[in-house]
């Protein structure tokens, strides 16, 4: 199956979700649109499109913390695995693990106190606080699906 064939199938199956070609893959809750890279024809593109579509099917919109975002990522991959089975597509479980690991690494790095390098506590979407030295620091708001690390296949 090609990416374009999958776009057509998803469009028919889920008419309430808009699919639109763009420069990267992501789900926009405000536009109720899944953006995908049209030029991308490898299987990772197909898996990513399934994943983003599942953020839409699960109506993911806001989250209060980075930890919650990671939980939504796990849920979207679980739903994507079910949808893939329905469509006779196989998603490599290692790819899912890589994506989730990169989210966890990202969350861990954001949580580190700039002064003592220990893990802080997130007090709201944009702020972490260190319980050891009392510092607080701001983090950018995250959106669904950050670029994932690509596994070297040589």
Chain positions contacting Zn ion, by CB under 5 A: 73, 76, 113, 115-116, 130, 132-133, 135, 144-145
Q: Closest approach of Cβ 114 to Zn ion, in Å?
A: 8
Residue 133 C-beta: closest distance to Zn ion, Å = 3
Alpha-carbon gap, residue 26 to 148, rounded angstroms: 12
CB of 86 to Zn ion, least distance (A): 19
| Nearer CB in complex with Zn ion: 7/26 | 26
- Output 91 or 113, the one with its CB closest to Zn ion: 113
CB nearer Zn ion, residue 142 or residue 145:
145
């Amino acid at each position: 199956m090609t990416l374009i064939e999958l776009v057509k199938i998803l469009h028919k199956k889920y008419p309430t979700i808009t699919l639109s070609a763009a420069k990267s893959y992501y789900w926009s809750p405000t536009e109720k649109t899944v953006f995908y890279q049209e030029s991308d024809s490898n299987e990772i593109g197909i898996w990513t499109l399934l994943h983003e579509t599942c953020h839409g099917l699960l109506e993911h919109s806001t989250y209060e913390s980075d930890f919650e975002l990671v939980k939504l990522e796990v849920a979207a991959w679980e739903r994507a695995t079910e949808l893939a089975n329905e469509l006779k597509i196989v998603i490599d479980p290692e790819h899912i693990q890589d994506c989730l690991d990169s989210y966890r690494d990202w969350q861990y790095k954001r949580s580190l106190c700039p002064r003592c390098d220990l893990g802080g506590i997130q007090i709201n979407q944009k702020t972490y606080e260190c319980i050891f030295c009392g510092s607080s620091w701001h983090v950018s708001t995250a959106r669904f699906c950050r670029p994932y690390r690509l596994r070297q296949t040589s």
